[in-house]
Amino acid sequence: MNYKYVSDEVLGYLNKMVFELKNFSVEGNYPGKHRSLLTGKSLEFVQHREYSQGDDIKLIDWKVYARKEKFFVKQYQQETNLVAYLFLDCSSSMWYPKGRITKYEYGSFLVSYISYVLLHQGDTVNVIRFDSVIKDSLKTLSQRNFYSQILEFLENEIVGEKTNYDCFFDFVVNYVKKRSLVFLITDLVSEKYTKIVNMLKQISAYGISLIVLHIVDKSEMLLDLNYEKCVVEGVEDKSLSVTTDVQEIKELYQKEFEELVSFYEQSLNTNNISYYFIDTSLPIIQNLKIVLGQK
Amino acid sequence: MIYFYNKIWLFLLPLSVLPIILHLLFVKKVKKVEFTYLFLIQKVLNQYLPKKRIVDIIVVLLRCLIIFFIIIFLSYPVMYSLPKKNIINLYILIDNSFSMQQKIFNYTKFELCKEYIVKLLNQLTDASNLKVKIILFNDSVEVVTPQFVAVNKKLVEQIVQLKPSFRNTNLNGAIEYVLSECIEKQNEKNNLYKILVFTDLAEHIVQNNVSVATTSVASFSNNIDISFCYPKIEQKNCYFNNVNVSQENELVEIKYIAETSPVNKEKLVAELMVSNQKIDTKKIYTFDQSTSFKFINGTSKNLFGYILLNTNDVLSVDNKFYFSYEKNIQEKKVLCVINEPAYLKGFNSKKFYFENLSLPEVNLETKSFEQEKMLLPKNYDVYISVDLPNLDLFEDISDKTIIIFPGETADTDNYSTFLDGIEFIELKDEKQKLKFSLGEDEELNKFIEKFEYGNINVNKRYLITVTDTAKWKVLLSYTDGTPAVLNKNNFYVFSFSLDRNWTNFVYKPIFIGLLKYIIVKDEKIGQKLKEYYFVGEQINYQNIVSVKQIGQNDIEEKEEYKIVGHNKIIFFVSGLYEISNESGKQIVAVNIHPDESKTAIVSKNMVKKMFSQFKNLNIEFFDIKEMKIKQIFQWILGKDISTDIVYLIIIMFILETVLSRLGKRML
C-alpha cells in the first residue's frame, strides 16, 4: 500500500540515522538506547559508592579495596527506551498555503519520518493531533511494524479550526510522564506568544524534554501575497480582516516576523527547549538532519 | 473679493471631490486574500497606519485642491487688490495716427483696437467701481469723454464712432498729458488711476522718444499702472529713401535708395512692377546704396507701377513705392553748368571768383525771398549788364536757359527732383577735355557737343571771369554788394561768396527757389505733372470727373480719396489712380508720406527706457493680435492671480508626487 507521507528515498537515508537525547535522562519501560535516570546493568560506568549492607557482593570493586582497604561498589548507567509524543497542529492555519505543499502536510511528513527513526531504535511513539482540542491520538509500542499504523493514522487528514495551545498543555500535564520527549509541530500562529512560551517553559520544568518545530511557509516570512493592495483575512478567524497596501508594509512585516522568530528562539533555547525553524520551501531531509541531529 | 471671468467653469467645481470618490471606490474593490499571521500585519499597521492615513488624507486633499485650483484657473479669477469701495479710474488712450491705419488681418490697427476696447468694455459693464475716460491722440490730444464715466452703452457707441486721422503720433505728449492729470489728482482718497494705451508704438523719429520724460511729471507718490496694448510686429520696417525715374530715348532707369529701419540695415530684395506693359519683374539686392532698374520702354508710352521692398513685413504697404512717369516733350531747356567747388581750396578772397568782374552800381534793398532775407535791386527790371565776352555763342541759342553755378555733382540729383527740364552739365578742366553726360533733348545735345567750354574764359581752373559787366544784369547781390546772380539774355551766373552768411549759398533752400523763379519767369518750359504725390497732400486738378484706383476692384470712395471742390483731391490710401477730367485721363502715383514711411516700431525695452525715470510707474504690455482680453480685464480690476494659482498648482503637484511616491519610504 502506498502511503502519502512516506518516501523510500528518505527512509533509506533515515535508516542510518540515530536519534539520541543528549544531557537528558529518560524513563522508559523497556531497555533502549537512551540514558536512564536509574543505575543498573549496563556497560556505561557512572561512579563508585561505599558498600552498604544489602549490596550485591559482585559489584564490589576489588582493585579499589586493594588501594583503599574499604569496600566500594561500581555503579553503571541503566539504558532504557524513549517515550515520545508527537503533537501535530491540524488547525486551519496549518492548511496554508493553497496550491502548494501546506504546513500541515509538511508537518505530517516530519511526524512520519521522526516516528520512523524513533521506532527504528526501539522507542515508543505517540502521535496526537490537535487544534483547539485534542482531535485524535495514536499510541504505539516500540516496534517497527507499528510504523504502518502511524502512516495510516496520518493518511486520515483532519482540517481543524482555530489553534488553542491550552489543550496541548492540559494533555501534556495530565497524560505525559516525566522524562518523556514531546515534539510540538506547529506554526505558532497566535498573538499570545508570551503565553505560549510560558506554557512551554512550564512543561520543560515539569521534566519533559520539549522540541518545538515551528513550521513556516516562505510567503509567511516575506508577506508575499501576489497583490499590492488587498483585504487580508484571517485564515482561522475570517471575521478579522485588514485592508492594506502589502508593498508598503512588507519591510515592516518582515522585520516583525524576524523579531517573533527571534523571540521564540531565545526564550525557548534559554529554557532547555529545542526550537527549530522549519522552512517548508527547504527539502525535508535538510530539516530532518537538523532536528534529529539536534544541531 | 474675487470676480470670475469665465464663470461657466465654476460648474465643474464639484469635480474637485473626484479624488475622494475614486479613493473610496478603489478601497472597496480590492481583492480578498487569506493569511495566517494576521496579528503581525495588524501590529505593523497599528504602528504604520496612523501616519499612513494622515499622508493618504493629505495626498487625497492635495489632489482635490489641484483639481479645484485648475478649475479656478480656467475660470480666470480676478482678485480685487483694493477694497471694493475704492474707485478705479481708467484712462483709455487710443492712438488714431496715420500709422494705425495699417492693416492686420484685413482690419486696420485702429479698427482692431476699437473692436478690442468695445469687447473689453462690454465685459466691464458689471464692474461698478470702474470709471473710464477716453482720450484720442495723434500728434495732439483729443479728450473724448471730459469726465470719468461709468461703462455703459453710450460710451461703447462713442468708441465705435471714433475716426482715424492722417497725422503723426506723439505718444509721449499723450502720456505726459495723462500723467499730469494723475499728479493733480493723486491726493484724492479712494481713487486708483490706471492708464491703458492702445497704440502701435510707431513713432517717426525713434531716437527722440528716449528723451520723453518731462520734469513736471517726474515724480508722483502713488503707484500708477500703465499698460500698452499694441500689435506685436517683430519684423523690420523698410522704406525708400529716394526714387528718381528718368528716360533716355527708350531706356528707362528707376534709381532708388532703399533703407531699412534705423536700427537694422540688412540685405533686401526689391521687385519692380510696371502696370501698363509686359516686363520681367526683376529682383535686385540692395545694400543701402543707390540701385536701379533699367529696362526698355517705348518713347511714347507713359509708365506707372511700383517698386516693392520685399521683406515679408506686415508693414510692407509702406515699402511700396508707386510711380507714374509721363513722357512729354519739353518746350525749352535749361542748361545748368556746374562749376566744381574746388575753388574753395586755398582761396580766401571773394574777388577770386569774380576776379575781373567790374561791379555795377546798383541800389539794393533787403527783401524777403523764399523766407530768406536778401539784398535785391530796387528796380528789379533795370538790370545792370555785365559782359561775359566769350559766351557769345550762347546768344544764338535763344530757347535755352543756361545757368552756371558752383556746386557738387552729387547735388544735381536732388535738384532734378524739384526742377523738371533742367539739364545739368558739369564744368571740367579744359585740359582734360572730358566729355559731358548728355541729356534727353537731341537739339540741346548737339548744341553741347558743339559748345566748347574752353571758350569760357577760365583763367584758372574752375574760374569764370566776367569781363564786360555792362552787358550783365545783377539779379541778386550779397549784403556787401557782391553780385550773387548775374543774367545776360538766357544766361544766369550764380556767384559764390566767402561771406560768413552766404558761404553755402548753393546749399540753401533759396538756391532752389531762385532756380524755380528763373524757370517760371522764362515761361519757356511746359508744366509737367509730378511723378508721384503723397497721401494727405492736396493736389490741384482741374474739373475732376472721376477717380479710379488701378489694380483694386473694391473701391470705397470715402476711404481712399476725397475731392475738395472740383479742383483739389486728397488721397488717403497709397496706390495708382486714374484721374479723368475734361482734357483726358492722367495716371498719378500716391505714396505714403516719407515721414510715415520712416515710421519705426518702438520696442518694449525702448518704452520702458522712456519711462524708466518714473519710479512708481508700473508698465505692462499686451499684444492686441493675441486678443487676451482676460489679461487686461484682470489688469484693470485688480491683481492677476492666475500666475499665483499656476505656481500653487505646481507646488501642490510636487507635494502630491513626493508624498504619494516617496511617502512610504519616509515612513
Using one digit for the tens of pLDDT, what is the confidence trace for B232-246?
665 556 677 777 777
Grid look-up 535686385 returns: B284
Residue B450 CB-density burial (10 A; 0-12 exposed, 13-18 middle, 19+ buried): exposed
What pLDDT score does B401 carry? 61
Cβ contact (<8 Å) for A225 and B32? no
Query: Across A51-205, where does the E strand assignment appear?
Result: 72-80, 83-89, 124-130, 134-139, 181-186
> Positive or negative, the Cα torsion across A99, A101, A102, A108?
positive
Residues paired with residue B338 on neighbouring β-strands, in sequence order: B405, B426
pLDDT at B570: 84
Mean pLDDT of chain B: 67
A234 Cα to chain B: minimum distance (Å): 5
User: In the prediction, which pLDDT does B500 show?
Assistant: 42
Query: How many beta carbons lie within 10 A of that of residue B644, not counting itself?
Result: 14
- Rounded Cα distance, B277 and B285, in Å: 23
Q: What are phi and psi of A266, to 5 degrees?
A: -70, -45
Return the pLDDT at A49.
79
- CB of A256 within 8 Å of a chain B CB? The answer is yes
Phi first, then psi, for residue B157 (nearest 5°) are -60, -40
Q: Is residue A97 reached through a cis peptide bond, with omega within 30 degrees of 0 on the bond before it?
A: yes
The pLDDT, as a whole number, for residue A45 is 63
- B664 and chain A in contact, CB less than 8 A: yes
- Counting other chains too, the contacts that B40-44 makes at CB distance below 8 Å and 24 or more residues apart are B40/A253, B40/A256, B40/A257, B40/A260, B41/A223, B41/A232, B41/A242, B41/A244, B41/A249, B41/A253, B42/A240, B42/A242, B43/A191, B43/A256, B44/A249, B44/A252, B44/A253, B44/A256
Within 8 A of B50 by CB-CB distance, chain A residues are none
Specify the range with the lowest mean pLDDT, choosing from B285-294, B356-365, B577-586.
Answer: B356-365
pLDDT at B400 over 90: no
Contact B611, B212 (CB under 8 A): yes
Angle between helices A147-155 and A103-120 (to 10 degrees): 170
pLDDT for position B89: 86
For residues A65 and B439, give the distance between their C-alpha atoms in angstroms, rounded to a whole number.
Answer: 169
Please tell me the distance in Å from B633's CA to the nearest CA on chain A: 49
Distance in angstroms between the alpha carbons of the first and the last residue of chain B: 41
Whether the Cβ atoms of residue B524 and residue B386 lie closer than 8 Å to each other? no
B38/A240 CB distance under 8 A: yes
Highest mean pLDDT among A258-262, B29-33, B155-159, B553-557: A258-262
Residue B629 three-state SS = helix
| Residue range B29-51: mean pLDDT, rounded | 81
* pLDDT at res. B603: 66
B656: left (phi over 0), alpha (psi -120 to 50) or beta: alpha
- Maximal C-alpha separation, chain A: 85
**Grid cell locating B408:** 557738387
Mutate to test the interface with B, among A252, A259, A261 (most CBs of B within 10 A): A252
- Of A94, A93, A69, the closest CA to residue A237 belongs to A93
Q: Do B302 and B237 touch, CB atoms closer than 8 A?
A: no
Contacts of residue B82, defined as CB under 8 A and 6 or more positions apart, other chains included, come to B88, B192, B638
Among A100-109, B86-95, B171-180, B301-310, name the one with the lowest average pLDDT.
B301-310
Phi-psi region of B214 (alpha: psi -120 to 50; beta: other; left: phi over 0): beta
Q: What is the separation of C-alpha B315 from the centre of its chain, rounded to a whole number of angstroms?
A: 9
Cell of A287: 530539516
Q: Is A39 part of the contact surface with chain B (CB cutoff 8 Å)?
A: no
Question: pLDDT in tens for each of the 295 residues of chain A?
Answer: 688 888 888 888 888 777 766 665 555 555 555 555 555 555 566 677 788 887 777 778 888 888 888 888 877 666 666 788 999 999 999 998 888 899 999 999 999 999 888 888 878 889 999 988 998 888 776 566 788 888 989 888 888 888 889 999 999 988 888 878 899 999 998 888 899 999 999 888 888 889 999 999 999 888 888 777 777 887 777 777 777 777 778 888 899 999 999 999 999 988 888 899 999 999 988 888 888 874 4
DSSP designation for B371: T
Distance between CA A112 and CA A82 in Å, rounded?
A: 17
- Among B41, B54, B55, which would you mutate to test the A interface (most chain A Cβ atoms within 10 Å of its Cβ)? B41
Q: State the maximum Cα–Cα separation within chain B, in Å, rounded to a whole number.
A: 140
Q: B525 pLDDT exceeds 50?
A: no
CA B16/CA B401 separation, integer angstroms = 93
Q: How many angstroms separate the CA atoms of B204 and B138, rounded?
A: 12
The one-letter amino acid at B249: N
Residue B281 has pLDDT above 70, yes or no: no
Check CB contact under 8 Å for B36 and A220: yes
Q: Is A190 on the interface with B (CB under 8 A)?
A: yes
Return the SS3 of B542: coil
* B31 contact residues in A (CB cutoff 8 A): 227, 230-231
User: Grid cell 499665483 — which residue?
Assistant: B644
CA distance B116 to B628: 9
Mean pLDDT confidence for B581-587: 80
- Give the C-alpha separation, A246 to A250, whole Å: 6
Measured distance CA(B291)–CA(B254) in Å, rounded: 8
Q: Higher model confidence: residue B266 or residue B625?
A: B625
Least confident of A235-239, B365-369, B591-595: B365-369
Q: Are strands A45-50 and A72-80 parallel, antiparallel or unpaired?
A: antiparallel
The pLDDT value recorded for residue A86 is 92
Over residues B162-166, the mean pLDDT reads 82
Q: What is the pLDDT of residue B436?
A: 34
Of residues B549 and A31, the one with the higher pLDDT is B549
Inter-chain CB proximity A93 and B36 less than 8 Å: yes
Residues 6+ apart with CB under 8 A from A154: A3, A4, A5, A108, A111, A112, A127
Set of chain B residues whose Cβ sits within 8 Å of the Cβ of A96: 34-36
Any idea what DSSP says for residue B352? Answer: G
Chain A nearest C-alpha distance from B652 (Å): 23
Mean pLDDT of B371-387: 39
Asked if residue A84 lies in contact with residue A123, where contact means CB atoms within 8 angstroms, the answer is yes
Size of interface A-B (CB pairs under 8 A): 88
What confidence score (pLDDT) does residue B403 get? Answer: 66
Residue of A nearest to B53 (CA): A244
* CA torsion through residues A37, A40, A43, A47, sign: positive
User: With an 8 Å Cβ cutoff, are A248 and B664 in contact?
Assistant: yes
Is the pLDDT at B223 greater than 80? The verdict is no
The pLDDT tens digits for B12-22 are 888 888 888 88
Choose the weakest-confidence range: A5-19, B267-281, B428-442, B595-609: B428-442
Nearest-by-Cβ selection for B40 from A229, A230, A257: A257
How many helices (H) does chain A have, and how many strands (E)? 9, 11
Q: How far is CA A176 from CA A141, A172, A210, in A?
A: 15, 5, 12
Tally: H helices and E strands in chain B: 15, 37
- Looking at residue A183, its pLDDT comes to 92
Residue pair B155/B114 in contact by the 8 Å Cβ criterion: no
Q: How far apart are CA A293 and CA B95, in angstroms?
A: 104
Interatomic CA distance for residues B212 and B48, integer angstroms: 69
CB contact under 8 A, A241 and B32: yes
Query: What pLDDT score was predicted for residue B538?
Result: 81
**With contact defined as beta carbons under 8 Å apart, do B59 and B101 qualify?**
no
pLDDT of the residue at A264:
93
Residue A103's contacts (CB-CB under 8 Å, 6 or more residues apart) are A93, A94, A95, A96, A187, A215, A216, A217, A280
Q: In the block, which residue shows the cell 574764359?
A: B457
Which long-range CB contacts under 8 A does B140-145 form with residues at least 24 apart?
A: B140/B167, B140/B170, B140/B173, B141/B173, B141/B174, B141/B177
Question: Running DSSP on this structure, what letter comes out for residue A282?
Answer: S
Residues of chain A positioned with their CB less than 8 A from the CB of B43 = 191, 256
B198/B113 Cα distance (integer angstroms): 6
Work out the end-to-end distance of chain A between its first and last CA atoms, rounded to an integer number of angstroms. Answer: 34
Kindly report the nearest CA distance between residue A189 and chain B, in angstroms: 6
The residue behind cell 553755378 is B405
**Residue A159 contacts B where some CB pair is shorter than 8 Å:** no
A189 and B36 within 8 Å at the Cβ level: the answer is yes
Residue whose entry in the numeric block shows the C-alpha cell 586755398 = B346
DSSP per-residue letters across B18-63: HHHHHHHHHHHTPEEEEES-HHHHHHHHHHHHHHHHHHHHHHHHHH
